[in-house]
Structure 1
Amino acid sequence: MLKITKLTRKFGPNTAVDAVSFTVEKPMMIGIIGRSGAGKSTLLRMVNRLTDATEGKIEFEGRDVTALKGDAKRAWQSDCAMIFQQFNLVPRMDVVSNVLHGTLNRRSTLATMFNLYPQADICRAIEILDRLGIAEHAPKRAEALSGGQQQRVAIARALMQDPRIVLADEPIASLDPMNAQLVMDDLRRIHEEDGRTVIANLHTLDTARRYCDRVIGMLHGRIVFDGTPEQLTTGAARDIYGADAGFSETSTSTSIETLERAGVRAMRTAEAAI
């Protein structure tokens, strides 16, 4: 389906993504992990064509995505929806209108100016919100929702595009553990039930192991690991994060249970020091 060949992005003398190559042959859920600055976000932005590649090629079902321009490029961005860490919603606009923004690429300028939507699109937006468990919030302003609810609105907006691929750039980085799990559950269901490829940038090893079929590790703009969750050992994680033998997976965990255990240990250490 998706073939990326020696994809490179340079910003002046700095190389953010360095000759990255991988192939996705069937719909799956892929996690891209690595520390901040590893090139994960730049890679996804190039796949979506929000950022142009300096070198290399992106192909989808034999079509050269890197060569697309104008309407063809916008059509690709509908097929390859993007979900952002900071949600990118319109805060003062109601939830259902934010979701309907997922149809902007296929609407006329006049309809967009007057905020006119077909009844079928409105019904579909509410159906998607219901699927994500937040339909009751449809008439509320987006700014009135919690962070987890806002991220699910952003997911609903992406699904309004009916994409072949969903790209999620750090979708749970700003969420608490409970909401992080809810959002990741939604992304996994979208893959399994809809047959869509989901590629998510993640900071945490436990999340990648739990939800992903395949894990890609990046360091300094290059792929240093590409395998199954079972192959993502602590040793492999040290290589991905460029860490020494003192590396602890607890520091990257979003698991509620792991965080609670870490909190208990910290409390006991503090008590022992008193």
Structure 2
Amino acid sequence: MAATNIHPQAIVDPKAELAEGVSVGPFSIIGPNVRIDAGTEVGPHVVIDGHTSIGKNNKIFQFASLGAQPQDKKYAGEPTKLIIGDNNTIREFTTFNTGTVTGIGETRLGNDNWIMAYVHLAHDCVVGNHTIFANNASLAGHVTIGDWVILGGYSLVHQFCILGDYCMTAFAAGVHKDVPPYVMAAGYRAEPKGLNTEGMRRRGMSPEQIERVQHVYKVLYRQGLAYNEAKAQIIELAQSQEEVQVFADFFAQSTRGVIR
């Protein structure tokens, strides 16, 4: 393992915990309650503050701000957290805030995510694994993002929304309700615009599995059913179709209603 490499013009608090192989570029500032695991690269002019834990082999580009206080007027200095997993790419001018005691107390980013410039993760957001957030995508507080989700550039997600696994938003989508798994959403008040079939193929789903998901889409959006009726049918299908179970799990969490 390579030695820790801290540029002489970086400011790292003596209480911060940096594992072997961490590098910190010039003019970056690392606060006292920060932990960074092996192999993570922190570029120049990065600020990492708060009770922030960063995993292995992340690449953090210049001018990122990680672990700052949440933008919540009720916040009163509580020791809430930001937790970042492994193998993430975090590009320029990104802002990730810590959680709040009125939420889950922490903001979380999973593993293998590709976060482009100017992305904002607000307090108490939970982001899964293998996501792509294009430039200027922003999450309000308490948002939950599943695995393999793609957010188009300038997408905005309202607080407390849930975006299911494999879903995708178009450029400048305004997400005001929950987005089911696999669904593509577009528009200022986002509406369903088909399925992310290419994403399903890339993840190795068979034509038969994709066809079953397409049937679920028709039940939810094309058969004129009331939401609760469509939901009940899909939950029943999930009992025998593994690829549909992700919809049942999504419905169990959804609280804001689903885009339709």
Range of TM-score over shorter length: under 0.3
State the TM-score, normalizing by the size of structure 2.
Answer: 0.26
State the TM-score, normalizing by the size of structure 1.
Answer: 0.25
- Normalized per residue, the structure richer in strand is 2
The structure whose RCO (Cα within 8 Å, separation 6+) is larger is: 1
